[in-house]
Structure 1
Amino acid sequence: MRSRLVPAVLLAALAPALLGAVPASAAPPRPTDVRFATFNASLNRAAPGELRKDLSTPDDPQARLVADTIQEAHPDVLLINEFDHDPVAAEEFRKNYLATGDKPIEYPYVFTAPVNTGVPSGMDLDHDGKTDGPGDALGFGAFPGQYGMLVLSKYPIGDVRTFQHFLWKDLPGNRIPPGYYSPEALAKLPLSSKSHWDVPIGIGGRTVHLLASHPTPPTFDGPEDRNGRRNADEIGFWRRYVTPGPAAHALVDDKGRRGGIAPTERFVIEGDMNSDPVDGDSVPGAAGQILTAPRVIDPKPRSAGAAENATPGHRGDPALDTGDFAEPVPGNLRTDYVLPSFPLQVRDSAVLWAAASDPLARLNKASDHRMVRVDLQVR
């Protein structure tokens, strides 16, 4: 039942062998325009194998809307959150959905790996008197791999670093609720509710690191705020990872390699962070940890649909929202991010949330989240 890490789950059935970073040539390469995107596609199911079954034919209406959204945006590098971990399901989605329709799209490079959701801990982590519930798993989930992650790319993927097993207690300055977890639980509880991935992408003679994660929602707990605290620390992991210093040196990946990203490397932080900068239930300042991290650029992607559906009483700019959630609480929020680093240059950005009068408004039903895309120039 324990999830076993596969450092680079890229089966022959899914894609060609992963390639390393593209070496620099003698002459400076020309700038390359590339579109990065993130999408919580809600392609999760209640039991293992259900997603594979749904995607085995081209007839699932929700998967079709998800594919139509991806095809409309046509990103070059895409992180999908909430795609149950199953390499076969990933291949079925590519074959039966992305490669079909009016605007087919091909992704020759694919990465997925195990996540902590649904992995039994054997302990009562949520203090409900039981040890076998979804709240007792290393990350909330009914079965191992539920709410997983998937990276699709038109460009070669290099040697991925995963931090699935990095312990929460080992994060410098962590927010673990005092006295809530036993020493035995802390010795086993990872920081990541799913995982943290550093996925190097070879683009135009340069490497751009896709930093992917999906922190736990900061709700569904008690006054100890264990989920809110974990959400904030899952987000804060990336600030430490991209900031040179002792905190970065304390981070250890699943192969035992220590340290964060080099200060000369280009990166893009992506994913559903489950945290709005000013509204919602997350710990104050949680999202700000990455928005203000060194070298990070916030393109502030917008949409007409989000502005049209503003939640009354919210303090944030409604045009920046990316999630269509229950009204009035929590209401629409900005939870999904694509944050490039300097010296990448932002050419354009958008949230794919169509206004009601737009023919593309049908795509709004694909998920309660909207895709976020940012067009970059790699120099």
Structure 2
Amino acid sequence: VDQGNTVCDEATLRKVHLPPYRAAIKAGVGSIMVSYNSWNGEKLHGQKHLLTDVLKGELGFHGFLVSDWAAIDQIETNNFKNCIERSINAGLDMIMIPNGSGTKNNYVEFITKLKELVAEGKVPQSRIDDAVLRILRVKHKMGLFESTAVDPALTAAIGSPEHRAVARQCVRESLVVLKNESRALPLAKNIKHLAVVGAAADDLGVQCGGWTVEWQGKRGNVTRGGTTILTAIRNTVAPGTLVTFSRDGSDLKGADAAVVVIGEMPYAEMAGDRSNLNLAAADVALVEKAKAAGIPVVTVLFSGRPLILGSALDASDTFIAAWLPGTEGQGIADVLLGDFKPTGKLPRSWPRTNDGLTTATTAAVRPSASAPLFPQGFNLDN
């Protein structure tokens, strides 16, 4: 759920959610955007302990914290001045104010009220100085004081072979093999007939998900370059291998194995809110159709979150969580056809049912919680 509420104690928060921030700060990240969501009912935009004490103090974050779109408005209802005071004092350094003059909570009002808060001693001048210093430090590091002009030559690097190689590496190292019965994986490159099934197998937009090119993302050929799973498989198998493709499984007859590619359609933010996380019925039916053909079934799932797998997992000999791999489907083919041994682990536990969604985050660290389908950190080598 977009803008959700994470309910857990601080020990759980630190064990489950903090490690990626620690790693990013250690790598020198310059800015962090604070989420709309809440921790135990408190909006993060007003959470001084996490923003200042933990991120800036304990973890040594020297960059700047930026709010999300008009997010400070949610700290309190109908008291914009208090929202400004609480967010700045909590540690926010840059505030995203989308509203122009003449609208509620606009940037002119923000500037005016922040000046009042400083004059009243409710926001220390030292807090303003610290925020400004953090922003200028990042700008200096980026060379923006020497030149503010955009270098058109940099666009030539977009989609360069070097960048695609890194993206491909990220794909193959991040996907997680959840199941591999009968050693169906890796597939032999010289297999006689490999059926690739599912519309998602030949759709860059589905591979990329939301926030790519367009806010909500979209299906189809969303960018120049890039490799779908179908193309990647055809590029990798032996010359004599027949690779067929169908969206509905009509190419299964006579195949020696099937790669079934399923997943969510692109979405971003609230557009992705769902009352349940069940796989689409059509996706489940596609996997079961492949299983009925009596051949090994390797299922690849595209999703930005764990979904309830149900019978699709049972019908698969191999099941791979590929997340949203982006443009470099070749990274998946590297794993499918044995050029790379999968090493990815689950970053969080995977719920068994929709009833387990409220406990799935904490199940890996709280033995009393409902047992997930797969625990945090799972891979088949565990």
TM interval, short-chain normalised? under 0.3
Q: In terms of Rg, which structure is larger?
A: 2
Flag the structure with higher helix content: 2
TM-score by length of 2: 0.24
Higher RCO structure, 1 or 2 (CA under 8 Å, sep 6+) = 1
TM-score by length of 1: 0.25
